[in-house]
Amino acid sequence: MFQAPDYMQTVSLRLSEVLVDIGVDERIVQKRRRTRLLEESVCTISLQLQDLNSSTYILSSQSEGSTTIGLESDDDKLTCYNAYNVLQDWSEWQPSAINYLMIQDETVSPGYCLLQRLRNDVPLPYNDTPNEHHFRDKTGRILLKNTITSLTAAISAASAAIAAYFDERLVRHGPADRLTGRQPGYQEIDIVLAYQCKSWPLQARQWLNWQGACQWPSDDMKRYCSNSGCFVVGVGSKGSDNEELEWRITTSLAERCLMFNLNITQIRCYVWMKIMLKTFIKPLYKDTISSFMCKTVLFQLIANTHSDFWRETNLLVCLSSCLFVLYNSVLNENCPHFIIPGNDLMAGHIAHESKPHVLEILQFIIYSEGTSLLGIKCDGLGSRLQLKLNNICLFKTSAFVSAYLLKAIARMTECSMKFCLYFLSNSSYEVAILTLLKYIVNLVIISNQCQALDKTACSLFAPRLCTTLGSILASLNIQQYNGISEVALTWISLGLNTDVASSKLKLASMFYSIGEWNRTLIVLRDIEGVYDQNFVEPICGCYDQLREAPRRGFCEISDIRNEEALQYATAFCVLFLPCEINCIPAELQYELFCSIDKDINTGGMMGSLMYYAAVDSLPYLYFLQYKNYSFLGRQDDKQRALSNLIRTLDQEPNLGHRETALNLLGQCMEQENRAINALRCYSLSLNLRGRGNAANIHMCRLLSTMVNGQARNLPLL
């Protein structure tokens, strides 16, 4: 901190340039925010379609835009069950709602509250203990335990449905349920069940009147914050006598508002703090300092410094100042919450034996005058900074970040779509059709009543539902009279442009299933014409799996476009529900008769069937071409399609259902009388996914045929 001003400015500018290179600039920050807010809308709408009366919020670094690829920030989702009315004043009591009064007195830790159950017929306290999730204290109050917020234990319909959808992969982690079983390299997903209080917390009322030295936050920001209310989440203060009864008050939406009003230098300063925290502190003292403490320190410094301080040429000084405030917080073992100052964020976090070492690390970084940054490996920042200081230009990763964000929208849309279809997995034709019509009508109503990203979310949902409805109607038509009605064709046509292939492949499957070979051929040719493998990216959210980096063309498109690029730069996997069975080629129907993770007895009209059959678009395109050309007697084209299917399995790294494609290839090999090749395909498929794989059926069937002498064994490829 004692170098000449020119040195500080030079290093500050190079620090900023490095962050620009890895995607921390105004454009990418806004793109990150838009992506996560759109995901919020998609997820919330999927819950609304199930009448679950819940809302989803994606919080923390992902929605703030204050992260990088190397930081690997968790994906924090807050699910708010709106049937609970949490109130601070008796005037907020609502009849017929599940009412809870926030108790904020001297018996409760600052930043926390108790929730007292109230009657739903009159504004009076509840007198009985309704279930094991409640507790009668010594004064007779009926209090809600914070353990109820486990999604697998909660009594709300929303929680039960979500828990069923995610199966046993939800594990309790603090106030959250963590989605476990994810492959290495995938973000952790924490799902927090919360209840919303529409009024501003009493413990934060003083903050609304407080004013920092530089008039930040502004009156408009405070007005928005006060109108955003707060949430309560199920975790008590460590060491409190009421730890199982306390609920933490969180002002997440207000904090997000503050983050959205930071300038780019302030955001870069926060990102650098988190990177240094990950590099120097967390490997040695994991739970000592959190990124939320860094954010709080940043807020405190912004509120007490002039806005001119936060400029690009002063980034290194800004960073050192933040670290100095953090140093004092550790020294005093006190980091007051920015909005609720009585809540000490560091209480119980600084162990006596680790404190001197943490202070020593912070002091080293502060007085290194930027040299400590050269050792940072996260995002390659240390080496990047060294090269920048030597005036060597580097490649930017912003296009890759954009590709990651576009794929995140695609995967969230697909996962939310599957969440809706999950409730149709055991439905009759009549129930499935009526339910999908209800979904579509509700989407139209929501779209007409909302604007901006909510309307965009509806536009992502509706066409895919229309395609599914058209396919189910076609399946019913085929069962009834082996044809397809104009109504079915009209519905499926409304969703043909969701992406380059998946919806059109459903149309091709419909024509193929009724023997309309020429119409099938026309659709398949159209798909092949627009499926440019230089930039079209396969999208599948069915499994967590390590994937290769997105292709360069996809990155370039993602960098200049938003979600509209999904129509011409992505290929979703093709999903078929059991009630679409008559639109599914016989070779793919086997996938319905097995489960992915465990046996699922769905019962009902379709018997014991899997939730859905799924296949990647590109291999399915070539499979349908092979089958279609076989019926048309076009041998050369048939062999070309088979070669393309083999090449796709060999060269496309990002297939989500490679085992299914291998099963289809195996059946093509059987048609070619190449039984040994078919067995090899099924064996490779089983190596990829041993349980719930239709390859078990195919292998047993084929071996039985071979033993009976009904197949010819030819050399391998």
79/56 Cα distance (integer angstroms)? 5
- Orientation angle between helical segments 5-21 and 264-276, nearest 10 degrees: 80
Its CATH class, for the domain covering 50-261, is: alpha beta
What's the number of CA atoms in the CB half-sphere (13 Å) around residue 211? 7
Strand partners, 176: 173, 192
Strands 98-103 and 54-59: unpaired
User: What is the pLDDT, as a whole number, of residue 297?
Assistant: 97
User: What is the pLDDT, as a whole number, of residue 706?
Assistant: 87
**Backbone angles phi and psi of 613, in degrees to 5:** -105, 140
32/23 Cα distance (integer angstroms)? 10
| Other CB atoms within 10 Å distance of the CB of residue 106 | 4
Strand ranges, E, within 617-682: none
User: What is the pLDDT, as a whole number, of residue 600?
Assistant: 40
Query: Is 177's pLDDT higher than 70?
Result: no
| Other CB atoms within 10 Å distance of the CB of residue 669 | 23
**Coil, strand or helix: which one is 71?**
coil
109/313 Cα distance (integer angstroms)? 42
| Other CB atoms within 10 Å distance of the CB of residue 416 | 25
Percent of the chain with pLDDT over 70: 90
What DSSP designation does 277 have?
I
Q: Confidence band (pLDDT; 50, 70, 90) for 164?
A: very low
120 is written with which tokens?
Answer: 């739903």
528/69 Cα distance (integer angstroms)? 33
318/313 Cα distance (integer angstroms)? 10
Question: SS3 breakdown of the chain: % helix, strand, coil, rounded to 5?
Answer: 55, 10, 35
pLDDT digits (tens, 9 = 90+) for 381-428: 999 999 988 888 777 888 999 999 999 999 999 988 988 888 888 899
Query: Is 661's pLDDT higher than 90?
Result: yes
pLDDT digits (tens, 9 = 90+) for 589-636: 999 877 444 444 333 323 333 478 999 999 999 999 999 999 999 999
245/109 Cα distance (integer angstroms)? 11
**Backbone angles phi and psi of 196, in degrees to 5:** -100, 140
Q: Which of 257-261, 423-427, 664-668, 679-683 has the lowest mean pLDDT?
A: 423-427
Q: What CATH number should be reported for the domain whose range is 1-49+263-396?
A: 1.10.1410.40
272-to-16, 67, 126, 298, 319 alpha-carbon distances in Å = 10, 9, 50, 11, 8
421/704 Cα distance (integer angstroms)? 36
| Ranges of each domain in the chain | 1-49+263-396, 50-261, 399-656
Which is more confident, 145 or 541?
145
User: CA-based Rg of the chain, rounded to a whole angstrom?
Assistant: 29
User: What is the pLDDT, as a whole number, of residue 258?
Assistant: 97
The string of DSSP letters for 319-358 reads: HHHHHHHHHHHHHHT--B-SSSTTSBTTTTTS-TTTHHHH
Dihedral angle over CA of 605, 609, 610, 614, nearest 10: -80
